[in-house]
Amino acid sequence: MYAQPPPPTRPTCSNAVDLAPTDERTIVDLAGRGLEPLVALGRYRYLRAQEPLPPQRHCSLLVLALPGRGSCTFEVDGRPREVGPGRVLCVPPGRVYLTGTGAQARGELTWLIARRCGDDASALGRAVSLLANPPESLVWDVSKEASADLGRAFGLAAGPSDWLAKARLQHLVSGVVFDLATSMTAARTPDPAHRGVTRTLEWIDTHLSEAVDAAGLAAVSGLSTSHFYEAFREATGTSPKDYLLRRKTDRARVWLESDPSVTVTEVAHALGFSSSQYFATVFRRYQHCAPSACRRSR
């Protein structure tokens, strides 16, 4: 009997927002710009993969992430969520999330942070409250205009601070929020296939030590294999095999970093890998480092 991985820890809830820019990251503080309850608009352009940020959890803030070039993977409440250009990922208040599994991917990503206020009766406040209750997948399609308007907003924020520029910034950013809320409402149409995928995701998280194939996962979902593949990719942005291997290596990384007594071989076998060599190969692919490097990082 192999040891079992420890349960994940939840970070302290906080509404702190990092507003410090860098050479590759631009952040606009939206306070005092007439856009309450919006908090910040940010964008990074990474030429190479970056170290992952620590897990975060906000009390009343929600995060909207829109990739510009290249796909990226977030982890929300322990589940990877892949999002690419033309789509948005919403992290509601109270959820634990990481910007990257193993590493923050190279590419371009724009994000918008807003504060959910239950007593805000303004149109913008109501739109934010609506966005705080996204569909189960947390990801949906957005218009090209939404991303383009956010790009123009950075130029306005960096330019002259007169009343006209301020009004144009308000118009662009609030318009994007309304656009996202509208497209999200359309994406929330009930879909039995997505309920089957949700059931499968919950099953995966409690059976990571088991060997399972796509047909087995389809059986859990209650869908045909072909329908399951289509629904799974639509809900998660990736294939069942890719999702399963990523979850296994994510769990392995947390285990190796938190338990100095467990060996790489024990982790490999406990998570259903046939050998420690195969485990190391898969681990490098998803975590961008060797399993032993996690041990040395402590």
Helix (H) or strand (E) holding 228: helix 225-236
pLDDT at 2: 52
Residue showing tokens 């999330």? 97
Q: Tell me which of 152 and 9 has the higher pLDDT.
A: 152
Domain ranges for the chain, please list them.
25-187, 192-296
Architecture of domain 192-296: Orthogonal Bundle (1.10)
- Counting Cβ atoms within 10 Å, is residue 86 exposed (0-12), middle (13-18) or buried (19+)? middle
Tell me 270's DSSP state.
H
Q: What are phi and psi of 38, to 5 degrees?
A: -75, 140
Range with the lowest mean pLDDT among 50-54, 94-98, 157-161?
A: 50-54
pLDDT at 102: 66
pLDDT at 101: 63
pTM for the predicted model, two decimal places: 0.68
Tell me 110's DSSP state.
E
Q: State the CB neighbour count (10 A cutoff) for residue 192.
A: 9
Per residue in 239-280, pLDDT tens?
888 888 888 888 888 888 888 889 999 999 999 998 999 999
**Span 52-80, mean pLDDT?**
87
Q: What's the mean pLDDT when you consider all of the chain?
A: 86
Residue showing tokens 């149109």? 123
Dist. CA 45–CA 259, nearest whole Å: 35
Dist. CA 272–CA 212, nearest whole Å: 9
**Span 210-233, mean pLDDT?**
87
Superfamily for domain range 25-187: Jelly Rolls (2.60.120.10)
Per residue in 100-141, pLDDT tens?
666 777 788 999 999 998 777 799 999 999 999 888 778 888
Dist. CA 132–CA 43, nearest whole Å: 21
